[in-house]
Chain A
Amino acid sequence: MKSIINYIASIFKGIGSLLAGMGVTGKYFATFWKYKTQEYPENRKELVMFERFRGEVIMPHNANNEHKCTACGICEINCPNGSIEVISKMITTEDGKKKKVLDQYIYHLGMCTLCNLCVKACPSDAIFMGQNFEHAVWNRSDLNKVLNLPGSKIEEKVIKEKVEKQE
């Protein structure tokens, strides 16, 4: 007798859970105009990628064409597939000190897996992940980029901090 009751109860239980599932999808279907996807080429103008999106490595410059990179090369060491090359040069400052500064920050986008390790490793917050994702080019060599702008210098503040730390 108990098994028969269980059998009948299982039928109603099953129907109940199926209806609950159909309720969820039915709610989506009934409000089909509230779709979650976006139509990409049409919304290109107002498209804002979310904050955590990783499109490419960028090096922000301020208004005086200054970046924060000290050419320490930690990002280059941390990069698992060698898509970063930091080329530095030695210059003599006005007060006669010899100093290593960034010459060219070469970034091979075609080799980059956007793993974010370089950005995490950077001690002076010089590089970030940008949100541009339209990287298609006609030539493979166009994917090798120089991130520091021509004629850019290191920010004075970064030098001061570094000096303070050393002291």
Chain B
Amino acid sequence: MGFNLYDFTNFTHNLHLWFFENMSTGWATTVEWLLVGVIYLAIVALLGLFLIYVERKVCAAFQQRIGPNRVGPWGLIQTVADFIKMMMKELITPRQVDRFLYNLAPYIIIVCMFLTMAALPFAPGLQGLDFDIGVFYLSAISSISVIGILLAGWSSNNKYSLIGGIRSGAQIISYELSISMSLITMVIMAGTMQFSGIVEGQRDLWFIFKGHIPAFIAFVVFIIAGTAETNRGPFDLAEAESELTAGFHTEYSGIKFGLFYVGEFVNMFIISAVAATVFFGGWMPLHFPGFDAFNNVMDLIPPIVWFFLKSFAIVILIMWFKWSFPRLRIDQILTLEWKYLLPINMFNIILMTVIVLTKFHF
């Protein structure tokens, strides 16, 4: 099969051929669907558990605490224990909820998460969907998850949930704009919307270095908007514990709450992974034009390691925001978006266009 840690293209292609040689077309397609589904399920489950652990440890480090340290070595199995606890809890449905929408909401969020995840290039040849319009697809799909949040807030028959849901809607719809515009800035730089093309375009130099000033501004805007998009950090007023208990997921218990919780963390990872892909080259190792010896050493590290290293570095950056800044008010959030990020973004797009046209980048 030719398994190669540095390039999975042949491996996945041969696997595909092998299935179609040994089975009828219908069976082979079904098996491939199932296989891909199970792999993505496993990735999401492991990522969710691991990210919750990382969040608790990182938050502890920011507050000069130790964090979970009892279950397993360094508390590594803590989240597994939490997960088992959550699975065994009773699923309480409050009286007079809109039962259909109430049960639907967590699944919308989870489905959106999987759909976005499919577009991420983990390594060469390891990518669920490689559309020509990958960036567009990603920003379109990731904005659907707001429906899940709105439904959860609306159907719970709880005023706090409703306030949380509506706040979240206002916030995500606003920040969607900044995310898309900062991605457009980088699409102008890359010349393609395809994720594999974007990564390939960074073979000689990552875009954040290549596009210098406008790329950096776009990165800062993207990270701020991405933090808001995932309802995290200083922008977590949708679930503001001190005001709205837990916001839109107040009335959810057991594994339904668990789905929201895992969804939040995996969405954070997805935002970080997109930032890593578009600005820091995704799975592309650190290359500088002219330093061939250095580039060769960097190539020794497998691309999948590069991808996860970069993504987790940005995850920690987003956590850093959360544990440093106080929560914003709803009017401050909207001011930040409409009076600051959006004008900066528009200016930045023009700057990037001028730089690309005059070939002023590296």
Contacts and interface: CB of A to CB of B under 8 A. Distances in A.
Nearest to A30: B61
A2 B203 CA distance: 45
Given A11-B340, A21-B324, A21-B325, A28 B62 contact: yes
A25 B320 contact: yes
Interface stretch (B63-71, B206-214, B272-280): B63-71
Contact of B62 (A18, A29, A34, A36): A29
Nearest to A21: B324
A9 interface: no
Interface in B280-333: 320-321, 323-325
A26 interface: yes
A37 B69 contact: no
20 contacts: A11-B340, A21-B324, A21-B325, A24-B324, A25-B62, A25-B320, A25-B323, A28-B61, A28-B63, A29-B61, A29-B62, A29-B320, A32-B61, A32-B64, A35-B61, A35-B64, A36-B65, A37-B65, A37-B66, A39-B66
Interface in A1-58: 11, 18, 21-22, 24-26, 28-29, 32, 34-37, 39
B197 to A, nearest CB: 32
A28 B66 CA distance: 12
Interface of B: 58, 60-66, 69, 320-321, 323-325, 340, 344
Interface residues of A, number: 15
Nearest to A33: B61
A28 B64 contact: yes
Contacts of B65: 35-37
Contacts of B324: 18, 21-22, 24-26
Contacts of B64: 28, 32, 34-37
B168 to A, nearest CB: 23
Contacts of A37: 64-66
A20 to B, nearest CB: 10
A44 to B, nearest CB: 16
Given A11-B340, A39-B69, A22 B320 contact: yes
A29 B63 CA distance: 8
B40 to A, nearest CB: 32
B61 A18 contact: no
A22 B234 CA distance: 12
Contacts of B58: 29
Given A18-B325, A21-B325, A26 B320 contact: yes
A57 to B, nearest CB: 32
A14 to B, nearest CB: 8
Contacts of B325: 18, 21
Contacts of B323: 25
